[in-house]
């Protein structure tokens, strides 16, 4: 059968599958239209946020054997995009992330129970879904991922669990993440090179201003780059071969065709639109659409970069380091060239930077806050504290553990102290939750003069507890992980929601 005929049959099968789904989920019409078909012979079913790649012969075969399998596969791919599963961190455990994403979308599809997407394979998923839902109150890719990381150490067990949920190929996701990370690192290297080039140009300018600059012998003998020549020898010119099959070339570049930031924003907007429209169908869907609504809410909820959030608590202070902004290479190099080894201006060895010195971290150790997340939060905070551009060397950080009362107080004056604290960390408490003792402790510490300039208080909690009646005299933030409980907080409280993977991936 001709390739064009097979492509036409596959396209027709996809259109019929989409139409069968839209009879029941009209609010997903815009999302369905976002993916462009990309038939590549011999390829796997996959998406990069812009295309849906597939092998036409395989799609035609699937539709002939079980039409619902094509509809379920298409919906599976669409939900990966809508839930932003395509944009993992390069540091994520690929096997567990892939498994978590597949389970999350298949759970939503099973809950919707659309006639057009009922397949025989779905019955094989019930045991794993029951295991996940019994362990988790909120079922998203992020919560499932944390569950797999914390409880399933054996990779073979994870692979067996995933078998019943595999529909598409996730390799393009991780290829895009790796490509994005490579571009970021290349950009940083380019920035360093440009700075070095600036220093060289400054030295050259000093020479042009009437001074003689010696050029090292090795530099004189260096081979000129291609960019320095007017033309190239014929033997140095190579011609790229034209690919035999343009469609296959597109398939090979599949992971490099998308602007990740724009793609993510577009799908986040699609998720928001779906959430708004789903609300109008709430009476029709009821409980069947609850998990879909929960995942859409998790996608559209504002997330925070914990590192950047910590920087908001910083104050200006003098830090001993070379101030590159006030270093003039021209006069420096002029002095070296004119007087030998005597620069005219030495670099300034101090700089005004926003850094954190006095700070309080409170840990909710109540039974509703999981021990694993508490440890991950402290480790995440440690990794940020370890960044020399964030905290002064003479830091004054107090870490409090508290449930209904304060159970542990530790003062950190250096990164070494913090490292020792992590090594000997013991979670104390695990009772009820009352936030007031921590605020009372900080108020008393301020009165005693324990803090010269308190940056603020960060309280890691699930948000369920008794809050102080009045606003404190310092910034106070409550950090929650994947909050979907609608926690009510005082108007003065700063609420920060972090993704669970943001704590795990460091």
Please state, for a pLDDT cut of 90, what percent of the chain lies above it: 26
Q: Dihedral sign, CA of 504, 157, 49, 271?
A: negative
Residue 252: its pLDDT value, please?
Answer: 47
Residue 137: its pLDDT value, please?
Answer: 80
6 or 184: which carries more pLDDT confidence?
6
264-267: list long-range contacts, CB under 8 Å, 24+ apart.
264/49, 264/84, 264/86, 264/87, 266/34, 266/49, 267/34, 267/49, 267/81, 267/82, 267/84, 267/86
Residue 341: its pLDDT value, please?
Answer: 73
pLDDT in tens, 327-366: 566 666 777 777 777 665 555 555 555 566 678 889 888 7
**pTM for the whole thing?**
0.62
Residue 85: its pLDDT value, please?
Answer: 92
pLDDT in tens, 150-209: 898 899 999 999 999 999 999 999 888 888 888 878 877 876 776 666 556 555 554 555
Domains and CATH numbers, the chain: 3-172+250-300 (no CATH), 306-504 (3.40.50.410)
CA dist list (Å): 350 to 50, 221, 344:
49, 40, 18
Residue 235: its pLDDT value, please?
Answer: 47
Does the pLDDT value for residue 75 go beyond 60? Answer: yes
Residue 305: its pLDDT value, please?
Answer: 65
Residue 480: its pLDDT value, please?
Answer: 82
- pLDDT (average), residues 33-55: 92
CA atoms within 13 A on the CB side of 400: 24
pLDDT in tens, 95-135: 999 999 999 999 999 988 889 999 988 888 989 999 998 98
Mean pLDDT for all residues in the chain: 76
Give the Cα separation of 87 and 83 in Å (integer): 10
Residue 261: its pLDDT value, please?
Answer: 74
Residue 166: its pLDDT value, please?
Answer: 94
Residue 74: its pLDDT value, please?
Answer: 96
Give 141-183 as a DSSP string: HHHHHHHHHHH---HHHHHHHHGGG--S--HHHHHHHHHHHHH
Q: Which of the four pLDDT bands, split at 50, 70 and 90, describes residue 219?
A: very low
């Amino acid at each position: 059968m001709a390739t064009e005929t097979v492509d036409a049959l596959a396209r027709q099968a996809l259109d019929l599958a989409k139409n069968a789904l839209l009879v029941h989920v009209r609010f997903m019409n815009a999302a369905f239209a976002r993916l462009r078909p990309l038939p590549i012979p011999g390829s796997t079913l996959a998406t990069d946020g812009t295309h849906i790649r597939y092998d036409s012969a395989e799609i035609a075969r699937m539709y002939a054997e079980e039409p619902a399998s094509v509809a379920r596969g298409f919906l599976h791919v669409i939900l990966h995009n809508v839930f932003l599963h395509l944009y993992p961190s390069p540091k994520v455990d690929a096997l567990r992330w892939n498994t978590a994403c597949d389970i999350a979308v298949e759970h939503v599809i099973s809950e919707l129970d659309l006639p057009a997407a009922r397949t025989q394979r779905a019955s094989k998923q019930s045991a794993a879904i029951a295991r996940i839902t019994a362990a988790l109150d909120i079922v998203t890719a992020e919560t499932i991922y944390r569950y797999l990381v914390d409880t399933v150490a054996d990779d073979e067990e994870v692979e067996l669990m995933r078998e019943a949920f595999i529909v598409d190929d996730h390799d393009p996701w991780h290829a895009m993440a790796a490509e994005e990370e490579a571009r970021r690192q290349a950009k940083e290297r380019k920035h360093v090179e440009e700075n070095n080039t600036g220093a060289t140009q400054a030295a050259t300018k000093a020479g042009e201003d009437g001074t003689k600059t010696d050029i090292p012998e090795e530099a004189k003998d260096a081979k000129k780059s291609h960019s320095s020549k007017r033309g190239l020898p014929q033997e140095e010119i190579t011609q790229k071969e034209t690919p035999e099959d343009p469609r296959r070339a597109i398939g090979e570049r599949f992971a490099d065709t998308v602007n990740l930031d724009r793609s993510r924003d577009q799908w986040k907007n699609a998720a928001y639109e779906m959430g708004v429209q789903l609300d109008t169908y709430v009476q029709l869907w009821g409980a069947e659409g609850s998990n879909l609504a929960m995942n859409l809410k998790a996608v559209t909820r504002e997330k925070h970069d914990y590192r950047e959030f910590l920087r908001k608590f910083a104050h200006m202070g003098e830090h001993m380091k070379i101030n590159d902004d006030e270093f003039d290479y021209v006069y420096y190099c002029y002095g070296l060239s004119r007087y030998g080894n005597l620069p005219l201006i030495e670099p300034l060895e101090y700089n005004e930077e926003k850094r954190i010195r006095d700070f309080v971290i409170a840990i909710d150790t109540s039974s509703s806050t999981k021990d694993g997340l508490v440890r991950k939060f402290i480790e995440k905070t440690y990794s940020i504290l370890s960044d020399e551009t964030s905290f002064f060397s003479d830091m004054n950080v107090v870490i409090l553990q508290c449930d209904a009362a304060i159970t542990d107080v530790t003062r950190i004056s250096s990164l070494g102290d913090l490292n020792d604290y992590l090594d000997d960390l013991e979670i104390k408490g695990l009772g009820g939750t009352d936030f007031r003792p921590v605020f009372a402790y900080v108020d008393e510490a301020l009165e005693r003069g324990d803090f010269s300039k308190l940056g603020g208080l960060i309280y890691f909690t699930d948000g369920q507890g008794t809050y102080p009646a009045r606003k404190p005299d310092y910034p106070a933030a409550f950090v929650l992980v994947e909050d979907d409980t609608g926690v009510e907080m005082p108007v003065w409280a700063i609420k920060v929601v972090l993704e669970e993977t943001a704590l795990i991936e460091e």
